[in-house]
């Protein structure tokens, strides 16, 4: 027998609330935030490397690098001399807004975020899970 239980709560509500809060920070700082999602190996880090190389002279950039367990992508991007915050998600197949808020606190310890123009977020390599969780990005 199947029974439908109405829990009466939106399980993503807390994440949405935190994402809205992150976006308020980005807007107050004048920072545009982009959240990159794709299948593993599709080329997110490569695209970020080329983007950073092309824009680092004209825009002030930082990266939040989401990865389940390693620092490898963060190390690839640190070579370009920009601030990179690595977030290991452990078993989670996506970043969520609270993890990004934690990354923002680390970023604020390094620099004044009002001095940034563009924050690039590389999400964990899985197109399905990350799409459910806004992190406060503009696009």
Ligand X SMILES: Nc1nc2c(ncn2[C@@H]2O[C@H](COP(=O)(O)OP(=O)(O)O)[C@@H](O)[C@H]2O)c(=O)[nH]1
Positions that interact with ligand X (CB under 6 A)? 38, 40-46, 125
Report in angstroms how near the CB of residue 54 gets to ligand X at its nearest.
15
Q: Among ligand X, Mg ion, none, what binds residue 66 when CB lies within 5 to 8 Å by partner kind?
A: none
The answer to whether 119 touches 26, Cβ cutoff 8 Å, is yes
Instruction: Look at strands 84-88 and 118-122 and give their pairing.
Output: unpaired
Site membership for Mg ion, residue 51 (CB under 5 A): no
Nearer to Mg ion, 18 or 45 (CB): 45
Nearer to Mg ion, 18 or 52 (CB): 52
The answer to whether 130 touches 37, Cβ cutoff 8 Å, is yes
Q: Among Mg ion, ligand X, none, what binds residue 30 when CB lies within 5 to 8 Å by partner kind?
A: none
Residue whose entry in the numeric block shows the structure tokens 């990179």: 84
Give just the sign of the alpha carbon dihedral 101, 105, 110, 114: positive
């Amino acid at each position: 027998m199947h029974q439908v239980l109405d829990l009466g709560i939106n399980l993503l509500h807390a994440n949405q609330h935190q994402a809205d809060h992150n976006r308020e920070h980005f807007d107050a700082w004048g920072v545009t935030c982009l959240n990159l999602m794709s299948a593993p190996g599709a080329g997110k880090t490569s695209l970020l490397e080329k983007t950073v190389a092309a824009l680092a002279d004209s825009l002030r950039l930082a990266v939040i690098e989401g990865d389940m367990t390693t620092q490898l992508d963060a190390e690839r991007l640190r070579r370009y001399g920009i601030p990179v915050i690595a977030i290991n998600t452990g078993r989670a197949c996506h970043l969520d807004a609270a993890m990004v808020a934690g990354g923002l606190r680390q970023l604020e310890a390094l620099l004044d975020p009002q001095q940034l123009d563009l924050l690039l977020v590389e999400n964990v390599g899985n197109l399905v899970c990350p799409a459910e969780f806004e992190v406060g990005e503009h696009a």
